[in-house]
Structure 1
Amino acid sequence: MKLATYQDGSRDGHLVVVSRDLSTAHFVSGIASRMSQLLDDWSFLSPALEDLYVTLNQGKARHAFPFEPAQCMAPLPRASRVAWASPWRHHHQLLAESEGRVLEDGALAQPWIGSLPADLLTGPRADLQVSAPALQAGELDAEAQLAVVGAELPLGAPPAAALERVRLFGLALGWTSRALARAERAAGQPPLGSRLGVGMAPVLVTPDELGEAWRGGRLSLPLSLHVNGRRLGQCDSGKDLGWTLGQLLAWQARTQRLGGGHLLLAGPVSPAEPGKGAGCVADARAWAARAGRDPDTHPWLEPGDEVLLEALGADGQSVFGALRQTLTGWDE
């Protein structure tokens, strides 16, 4: 099943079911009007949505209409909590190398997870406006991230139980200032002000839609990241993970119960093998330096730059829809 949230002037938008090929959609007002409502009562409401999804894919839904990603908000506009994890160890190694740092012993021995404000989430076509301080700091970047939406997870739940409570998957772009992040790290602060926004692909999908791509707590899809039409890489999102998605969810549940509708963002995707591209500008620059090339062949992002992120399934079709955002400067 594929789901999206259409803009309707409210903060929560309106839930729609989207066909597998992303060509048509259908409002589901008689079942659940909001994504949060569906997640709160998943066992009761999802079977009726599945029936509608089947009918929509068969071309028999009476009130279907063409699906328009530009009309979409973030598919989960207000998550109960948003966590950001960086489980690709190779990204940390590349970043430290490019900044002239040495990772401390044990720095990568446990998952790195932080929290983000839910109001950072935006839709797939929303421009990302950058504040004057972030523009002045510079080194602006966008990270290819996986998104995982889960049901309520009890305190102390193990990874296997966490995986059973995964409801939906998506794709996200995490916008950041590397310069501000470096300053926060030097001050012993968490990366909060350096996190500028999170754009989400238009559609969330249920695990059954992913087939063999979802196995063992790893979602293996080729993520294609482009900046101004130039591809940074086509990274396998399931390779080189230091921790599975189940382990990341369970790590959070060690000390806190996770409420239903919580969102985990995992990225940037970071291949450890040369020639596989990069899931962010910082990694692309680090790879260039390793190869003896000028890192500025991959410049930091500036206002006017467009970033495109998409994942294609085995059938060649877009799984979550294209996420296309443009960086804009501060308009005083």
Structure 2
Amino acid sequence: MKLASLRHGRDGRLAVVSRDLKTMLPVDRLCPSLQMALDSWSTTAPRLQEVSDALNQGTASGAIAFDAAKLASPLPRAYQWCDGSAYLNHVELVRKARNAVMPPEFLHDPLMYQGGSDDFLPPTADIAVADEAYGIDFEGEVAAITGDVPMGIDAAGAAGHIRLLMLVNDVSLRNLIPGELAKGFGFFHGKPSTAFSPVAVTPDELGDAWKDAKVCRPLVTHLNGKQFGAPDAGTDMQFSLADLIAHAAKTRNLRAGCIVGSGTVSNRDASKGFSCLAEIRMIETIENGKPTTPFMKFGDHVRIEMFDGAGKSIFGAIDQTVVKYAA
């Protein structure tokens, strides 16, 4: 099934979305919010599935037209947002661009940071930034929403706690990041509010494209109306979403509604394009000594989407424009 949150209050108003993304049905009388559904998943999910089946069969009453502009993030705020770096090609390029070697432990010990989760951007909301000099970048990713995950679980067990899947635009302010990392305490200002796809889907909606806890479809990014990249999210993924969840749960329990991201989708085959500006800039630096592709400017537009084998959108589109922040 496919779920979304209509913009309403702090936590949204839960809605079930049809498979073809043409209609949606508010179900807040059944369960007010997605977080509450996750908290009682074993009893609530079957009831939501009944609504989903009726909606897909055209027998549900009260359905309205699907409109991503009316939606918040599936989880407008979350208890936890952990973002990994599952695509080692991206990590290798980052290090190679500054003449550094990738440590061998990165092959079995994933990178991960804990991002801000109290104020996610709606999927069609503007990206408001105070200064273009911050180095504005998009990052296309996939992510899982978990149920309750016990501390110390292995990847095989973690896979069973994946409730929903989403797309991500992990907005990055690249020129702020080096100074923050130099302090030794990781990202903060360099990682502003994140955006997620309009719709979160259960893994079964992906069919054969869900394999080994990986989403095996191209992630298509357009920048200012021109295709920027379509790398396959299941290719060159060193760590599956289950691996990343197990890593996050190494020393703590994860509670229902925890979001775990894949990191920037990246393929070794550069002909597939890219999921962030930083990656093409790193290749330019390696080949020419300096980058030539600029970071985003005010007025630039990014669209991130994934399609099934028949060319139909799975999650809806993250569709955002960069604007100057006005207090």
Q: TM-score, normalised by structure 1?
A: 0.94
The answer as to 2:326 corresponding to 1:313 is no
Q: Secondary structure at the match of 1:272?
A: coil
| Count of residue pairs brought into register by the alignment | 326
Correspondence for 2:73: 74
Tell me the distance in 1 between the aligned counterparts of 2:119 and 2:105.
Answer: 28
In structure 1, what is the equivalent of residue 104 of structure 2? 106
Instruction: Give, as a single letter, the amino acid of the residue that structure 2 aligns with 1:5.
Output: S
What is the CA–CA distance in structure 2 between the aligned matches of 1:183 and 1:81, rounded to whole Å? 25
Q: CA deviation digits over 1:121-154, x for unaligned, max 9?
A: 111111111134xx33x32211001121000001
Amino acid at match of 2:228: L
| Contact 1:153-1:162 within 8 A present in 2 as well | yes
1:8-23 paired onto structure 2 within 5 Å: 8=8, 10-23=9-22
Letter of the structure 2 residue corresponding to residue 52 of structure 1: V
User: Which residue in 2 is equivalent to 1:299?
Assistant: 294
With 64-73 and 192-201 compared, the bigger mean Cα shift is at 192-201
| Distance in 2 between residues matched to 1:192 and 1:145, nearest whole Å | 19
For 1:249, what is the secondary structure of its paired residue?
helix
Deviation at 1:218, TM superposition (A): 1.2
Alpha-carbon offset, residue 236 of structure 1: 0.2
Conserved 8 A contact 1:274-1:287: no
CA contact (8 A) 2:19 2:56 kept: yes
Say if 1:120 and 1:196, in contact at 8 Å, map to a contact too.
no
Secondary structure of the structure 2 residue equivalent to 1:212? helix
Aligned counterparts of 1:17 and 1:293: Cα–Cα separation in 2:
50
Aligned residue runs from structure 1 range 55-74, under 5 A: 55-74=54-73
Aligned partner of residue 72 in structure 2, secondary structure: coil
| In 1, Cα distance between equivalents of 2:270 and 2:189 | 32
1:89 matched residue in structure 2 = 88
1:171 maps to 2:167: yes
Counterpart for residue 2 of structure 1: 2
CA distance in 1, matches of 2:233, 2:29: 36
* Greater Cα shift, 282-291 or 164-173: 282-291
What are the equivalent positions in structure 2 for 1:125-144 lying under 5 Å apart?
125-132=124-131, 135-136=132-133, 138-144=134-140
Offset, 1:186: 2.3
In structure 2, distance between residues paired with 1:279 and 1:285: 12
Distance between the aligned counterparts of 2:83 and 2:165, measured in 1? 14
Which amino acid is the alignment partner of residue 100 of structure 2? V
Question: Is residue 267 of structure 2 the alignment partner of residue 268 of structure 1?
Answer: no
C-alpha displacement of 1:185: 1.9
Q: Is the 8 A contact 1:234 1:276 kept in 2?
A: yes
Note the 1:43-58 alignment, pairs <5 A. 43-58=42-57
Contact between 1:199 and 1:325, CA under 8 Å: does it hold in 2?
A: no
SS of match in other structure, 1:171: strand
Offset, 1:104? 5.3
- Partner letter of residue 106 of structure 1? P
- Residues 158-189 of structure 1, C-alpha deviation per residue, up to 9 Å, x if partnerless? 11111001000000101111121112222222
Query: What are structure 2's unaligned runs of at least 5 residues?
Result: none
* Distance in 2 of aligned mates of 1:107 and 1:197: 30
Q: How far does residue 71 in structure 1 lie from its aligned partner after superposition?
A: 0.3
* Offset of residue 241 of structure 1: 1.1
1:52 is displaced (CA, Å) by: 0.9
Deviation at 1:285, TM superposition (A): 2.2
Question: C-alpha distance in 2, partners of 1:106/1:291?
Answer: 24
Measured after TM superposition, the shift of residue 97 of structure 1 is: 2.7
**Structure 1 residues 306 and 292, CA gap change in structure 2 (3 angstroms):** same
Contact kept in structure 2, 1:6 and 1:72, CA below 8 Å: yes
144, 164, 187: which one pairs with 1:191? Answer: 187
Query: Which 10-residue stretch deviates more, 190-199 or 65-74?
Result: 190-199
TM-score by length of 2: 0.95
Q: Is the 8 A contact 2:149 2:161 kept in 1?
A: yes
